[in-house]
């Protein structure tokens, strides 16, 4: 007897990487859905009050059920695993508030980023999303979950790199955790001194800390690879010890070149990271922010760059590969 709607998905051996767009009112958010022969993985999920991801998953479940002559009133849920790059509102709120409470969906494994021990004293004028959304996730799972969810909690450091595989063993998914907690010690001092001149009351400290603690995720399927970099911080071109610089230095040779890369931090001065992203020699660069300056930076500072920009802030971008050929379409 069938247990999940996934069992009626097409089996064509293609990896589909769908970069979902935002609502018109949403400036920035990350939501990426990976599909292979009925297996589903969601990376992040989108901004609070945006319904794009939830509605897409509802429609996907309906389509798969209808292919088997069933309608959406069927009790068979859609099963998916969830990767969290970091705990910020524009990455995790859709899962917590829309998907987990919906009985049409069931979570298998959750892959969570390291926990920051940022002193609450730094959060008086700001929000520590890590401290806010982890309890909300736990509360949602307790109320709506099956109780059988598998939670994989990552810790800082290269020794905690983890390789994962799909059921066939053909899709390799590698999680690269941040090197150290940006909420304590030298990383925290560096950011406070370099960004805010030593002002420890600045409201953006907790935001920068949580962004800097993003997990990276690499997918490899056949001869093609994708790298998703969360919101790892890069604010100033002249600084060389920001979290993006450190992650690239530590992991570049391990990761190697990739076909598709999600550009780091889609907020303030993110364009300063263009050179670091181009060092992976991508064919495509994914952006997830409505304000797009990366193309201008490439044209002015890296005129020989051949990477093509794909901005999923305004439309869905679909990458498909059978392991040998790679196509990209706007849908």
Separation in Å, CA 74 to CA 41, 65, 103? 22, 8, 11
In order, the DSSP letters of 120-148 are GGGGTTS--HHHHHHHHHHHHHHHHS-S-
Q: Which pLDDT tens digit goes with each residue over 239-284?
A: 999 999 999 999 999 999 999 999 998 766 789 999 999 999 999 9
Q: Does pLDDT of 70 surpass 90?
A: yes
Separation in Å, CA 174 to CA 2, 36, 182, 263, 304? 30, 16, 22, 17, 30
Burial (0-12, 13-18, 19+ Cβ within 10 Å), 156: middle
The pLDDT of residue 126 is 66
Select from 76, 66, 78 the least CA-distant residue to 40: 78
Q: Does pLDDT of 37 surpass 70?
A: yes
Separation in Å, CA 43 to CA 15, 268, 324? 15, 22, 24
The pLDDT of residue 21 is 95
Which pairing describes strands 150-153 and 224-228: parallel, antiparallel, or unpaired?
Answer: unpaired
Written as six digits, the tokens of 297 are 């930076």
Helix (H) or strand (E) holding 284: strand 284-287
Q: Quick one: what percent of the chain has pLDDT higher than 70?
A: 98
The pLDDT of residue 82 is 98
Mean pLDDT value across residues 50-76: 95
CA dihedral for 290, 293, 298, 299, sign (positive or negative): positive
Q: Which pLDDT tens digit goes with each residue over 288-317?
A: 988 888 999 999 999 999 999 999 998 999
Lowest mean pLDDT among 26-30, 192-196, 219-223, 285-289: 26-30
**Predicted model pTM:** 0.97
SS3 content of the chain, % helix, strand, coil (to 5): 30, 25, 45
Mean pLDDT value across residues 219-232: 97
Q: Which pLDDT tens digit goes with each residue over 178-218?
A: 999 999 999 999 999 999 999 999 999 999 999 999 999 99
Mean pLDDT value across residues 52-65: 97
Burial (0-12, 13-18, 19+ Cβ within 10 Å), 144: middle
Domains of the chain: 5-330 (3.60.15.10)
The pLDDT of residue 125 is 65
Gap between the Cα atoms of 312 and 21, Å rounded: 5
> What are residue 233's DSSP bridge partners?
none
**Would you say 32 and 20 are in contact if contact means Cβ atoms under 8 Å apart?**
yes
């Amino acid at each position: 007897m069938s247990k999940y709607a996934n069992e009626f998905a097409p089996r064509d051996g293609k990896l589909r990487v769908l970069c979902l767009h935002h609502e018109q009112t949403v400036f920035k958010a990350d939501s990426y859905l990976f599909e292979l022969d009925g297996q589903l993985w969601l990376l992040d999920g989108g901004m609070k009050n945006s319904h794009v991801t939830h509605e897409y998953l509802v429609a996907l479940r309906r389509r798969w059920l209808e292919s088997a002559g069933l309608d959406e009133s069927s009790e068979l849920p859609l099963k998916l695993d969830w990767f969290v790059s970091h705990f910020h509102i524009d990455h995790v709120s859709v899962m917590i508030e829309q998907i987990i409470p919906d009985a049409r969906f069931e979570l298998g494994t959750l892959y969570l980023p390291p926990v920051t021990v940022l002193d609450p004293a730094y959060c008086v004028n700001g929000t520590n999303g890590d401290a806010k959304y982890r309890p909300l996730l736990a509360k949602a799972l307790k109320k709506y979950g099956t109780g059988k969810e598998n939670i994989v909690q990552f810790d800082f450091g290269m020794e905690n790199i983890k390789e994962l595989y799909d059921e066939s063993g053909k899709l390799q998914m590698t999680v690269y955790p941040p090197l150290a907690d940006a909420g304590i010690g030298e990383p925290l001092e560096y950011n406070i001194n370099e960004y805010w001149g030593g002002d420890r009351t600045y409201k953006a400290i907790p935001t920068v800390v949580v962004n800097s603690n993003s997990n990276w995720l690499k997918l490899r399927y056949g001869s093609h690879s994708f790298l998703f970099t969360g919101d790892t911080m890069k604010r100033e071109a002249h600084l060389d010890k920001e979290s993006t610089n450190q992650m690239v230095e530590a992991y570049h040779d391990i990761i190697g070149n990739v076909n598709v890369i999600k550009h780091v931090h889609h907020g303030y001065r993110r364009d300063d990271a263009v050179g670091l992203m181009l060092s992976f020699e991508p064919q495509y660069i994914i952006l997830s922010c409505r304000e797009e300056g990366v193309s201008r930076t490439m044209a002015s500072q890296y005129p020989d760059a051949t990477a093509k920009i794909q901005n999923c802030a305004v439309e869905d971008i679909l990458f498909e590969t059978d392991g040998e050929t790679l196509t990209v379409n706007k849908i």
